[in-house]
Amino acid sequence: MSIADKVAVRLRVNGEDMAVMVLPYKTLLEVLREDLGLTGTKHGCELGECSTCGVLVDGKPYLSCLAMPLDLEGRDIVTVEGMARGSDPHPLQVAFAELGAAQCGYCTPAMLLTAMALLDRNPNPSRQAIKDALSGVLCRCTGYVKIFEAVELAASRGAAGG
């Protein structure tokens, strides 16, 4: 492989329109982390197997390790950095912090975004609906219990649309 040329891509990330020069073979995960400095998005496999790299595209969970930025021009991308309003954390973030739902914190960005997409769709989800929604995101630390409880706590505080 020779040193490749960069191409210009227009992305909308966390409500901000930007034009970025990226290597055309880089995934959205790599562009977010390496070119845009948004290292809140993590990775566990880069093969579409763990959802650690999950972001939201037009409000739906999306695996950034399998996505190519060029395909996402004009779409609305949200990362964990886009959850807070100014310095006020999103109610899901507060609930995760309070209940110890982030142990190592590595799966947390994707868990939070996936939960946010769920609450936007279903503001008062049942335990089973939470399990179903989060089932693709692996967590090795928590046993998931505190995560379910945090989503329920945030829902009870009216997190949807928050």
Partner 1 sequence: MADDLTIIGKSLTKPDAYAKVSGQTKFADDLAPPRMVYGRILRSPHPHARILSVDTSRARALPGVLAVITGDDLPVKFGILPVSQDEEALAREKVRYVGDPIAAVAATDEWIADEALELIEVQVKTLPAFMSIPDAIAGGNEPIHGQSNVHKAVALEFGDTEEAIQAAAYSREDLVFFEGNTHLPMEQHAAVAQYGADGKLTLWTSSQTPHYVHRALGKVLELPMSRIRVIATPNGGGFGGKSDIFSHELVAAKLAIVTGRPVKITLTREEVFYAHRGRHPVLMKVRTGFSKEGRITGMQFQSFLDGGGYGSYGVATTYYTGALQATTYAIPRYRFEGVRLFTNKPPCGPKRGHGTPQPRFALEIHLDKAAEALGLDPVEIRRRNLVRPDSRTVNWLRITSCGLDDCINKVVEGSRFLERRRAMPSGRGLGFAVSSYLTGAGTAIYWNDMPHSEVQLKLDRNGGVALLCGAIDIGQGSDHILAAIVAEVLGVELEDIQLTTADTDLTPIDLGSYSSRVTFMAGNAAKAAAESVRQRLLQSAAMALHCDPEDLVARGRRIFRRTRPEDGLSVAQAVQLVEAEQGVVTGTGSYTPPRLAGPYKGSGVGPSPAYSYSAAVVEVDCDPRTGEVRVPEVWIAHDIGRAINPVLVEGQVEGSVYMALGEALMEEQSFRLGLHKFPSLLEYKSPTALEAPVMHTYLVETIDREGPFGAKEAGQGPLLPVIPAVANAVYNALGVRIDEIPITPDKVLKALHDKGKRVGPKSVPAFGFPPLIKSDVPEEWRGK
Binding-site member from 24, 59, 100, 123 for partner 1 (CB under 8 A): 100
**Which residue, 73 or 156, has its beta carbon nearer to partner 1?**
156
**Which residue, 48 or 158, has its beta carbon nearer to ligand FES?**
48
The residues, any chain, with a CB within 8 Å of residue 15's CB and separated by 6 or more, are 76, 82
Rounded to the nearest whole angstrom, what is the least distance from the CB of residue 158 to partner 1 in the complex?
Answer: 18
CA-closest candidate to residue 93, choices 15, 162, 16, 139? 162
Q: Which amino acid is at 161?
A: G
Residue 1 interacts with partner 1 (CB under 8 A)? yes
Burial tier of 73 (Cβ tally within 10 Å: 0-12, 13-18, 19+): exposed
Distance, in Å, from the CA atom of 90 to the CA atom of 29, rounded to the nearest integer, reads 23
Residue 130 interacts with partner 1 (CB under 8 A)? yes
Residue 106 interacts with partner 1 (CB under 8 A)? yes
Binding-site member from 76, 122, 138, 152 for partner 1 (CB under 8 A): 138
63 binds, among ligand FES, partner 1, none (CB under 5 to 8 A by kind): ligand FES
Stretch that binds partner 1, among 6-14, 66-74, 76-84, 117-125 (CB under 8 A): 76-84
The strand ranges marked E within 1-81 are 7-13, 16-22, 54-57, 60-63, 76-78
